[in-house]
Copies of this chain bind each other. A is one copy, B any other.
């Protein structure tokens, strides 16, 4: 019996992580697809989604639920629950780990018998840079 936990990641996986790490905003599955197709014209959506699924399971990639898009994990703890800040102006995403907030949310659910297994915490708004430049750019 041998487990399939984490064989070496293939070329496709590595290329996708590289693209997501370079990007300054989350990328959609089809943006990744279009870029990869430059090198490999025959690649198709299921390959992308399968790779994303595995990268997410391994903690290398996060899915931003409110955008149907994906971003590279930038926190040290690849499995900690993250709070994302998403600038709706420039698209930049910040990744924050705050165990206190997560614990408080967990208890909020637990008060009604609920067990939180996958918290989704995404704050849409405006980042500092965009807020500054919004004020009368002369």
Partner-B contacts on A (CB < 8 A): 65-66, 83, 85, 87-88, 94, 96, 98, 100-101, 104-106, 108-109, 112-129, 131
Contacts and interface: CB of A to CB of B under 8 A. Distances in A.
18 contacts: A65-B65, A65-B66, A85-B116, A88-B117, A88-B118, A94-B109, A98-B108, A101-B105, A104-B104, A106-B123, A113-B128, A113-B131, A115-B126, A115-B131, A117-B125, A118-B123, A119-B123, A119-B124
A2 to B, nearest CB: 29
Nearest to A100: B104
A112 to B, nearest CB: 6
Given A101-B104, A101-B105, A108-B96, A118 B113 contact: no
Contacts of A118: 88, 123-125
A101 B108 contact: yes
